[in-house]
Structure 1
Amino acid sequence: MSPMAQMLPSLLQSLSTDVPATWPSTGFTFMRVPSLAQNDRGGDCGPISLKFIELHSHQLTLPLQHLTQKQVDSIRMHYAMDLYGEYVSFS
């Protein structure tokens, strides 16, 4: 997350002239929410983000606090099987 937070202000300023002058030139700061599951492995950001969106849309915040790596592995497998079934297997 740190490289993205450092790069984002410069990227946005290069793409738009309507960037607030109050934005830091050295990068944004960020803070992780300690009570939520953390993305500790590369490649898990997509499945975790989608699961967060799904649970949050149903106002289910408690499962977000207890999401395990094993559950993330299962989520990734289900997404992979859904994609395979949609685009390859059932043609």
Structure 2
Amino acid sequence: MMWGKDHWVGLVINLTCRQVEILDCNIPLNESDNEVNKHMAYLLRALPHVLAAFSPLSDSSHPEEDQAFSWVHPENIYINEWSGDCGPCAVKFLDMHAAGYSYEDMGQIDDKKVDIFRQKYAMDTYEEFIGNAKVQNDG
């Protein structure tokens, strides 16, 4: 999710717990809960309505207040204070979460590892979009 004009965070939406875990590599950028609430307000209000609309068990098109979602910043994940790495970090956090890694594992990332996976993502993107276009044009 893009916050503002230049900050990416990963979101893990837990439908069972009705909680959104914010995987943010630069929590100090949005220190206050008020700032985070501003970014999350629309999504947190929309999620119960989306679930009600698509849930076969739902009788109501108006979700109750007790179905509200909340957010949390998991502790112990890597903090990156460099500008421009929030996108690759958000993707890496989501990759790690999907693979079953813990938030403590995400805390083991360091700046050197960020350089490596940022370069890998750039090369993968180049290969996917430019490399494939070149192969198709040559054929």
Answer yes or no: same fold by TM over 0.5.
yes
Q: Are 2:96 and 1:55 aligned?
A: yes
TM-score by length of 1: 0.62
CA-to-partner distance for each residue in 1:49-74, whole Å, 9 max, x for gaps?
Answer: 11111111122114201101010011
Q: Unmatched 5+ residue regions in structure 1?
A: 13-29
Inter-partner Cα distance in structure 2 for 1:82 and 1:71 = 16
Alignment counterpart, residue 87 of structure 1, candidates 126, 129, 134:
129
- Structure 2: tracts of 5 or more residues without a match: 1-28, 43-71, 134-139
Letter in structure 2 aligned against 1:36: I
Q: CA deviation at 1:86?
A: 1.2
Task: Identify the structure with the greater strand proportion.
Answer: 2
Match of residue 2 from structure 1: 30
Aligned counterpart in structure 2 of residue 39 of structure 1, from 42, 61, 80: 80
Aligned length: 72
State the Cα deviation string for residues 4-63 of structure 1 (Å, max 9, x = none).
928937x96xxxxxxxxxxxxxxxxx9783x21002111111111111111111221142
State the one-letter code of the partner of 2:91: L
Give the percent of matched residue pairs that are identical in Structure 1 and Structure 2.
26
**Other-structure match for 1:69:** 111
RMSD: 2.8
Question: Counterpart of 2:109 in 1: which secondary structure?
Answer: coil
Where does structure 1 differ by over 6 angstroms across 4 or more consecutive aligned residues? none
Seen in structure 2, the aligned counterparts of structure 1 residues 66 and 78 have a Cα distance that, compared at 3 Å, is same
Q: AA paired with 1:5?
A: E
The SS at the match of 2:93 is helix
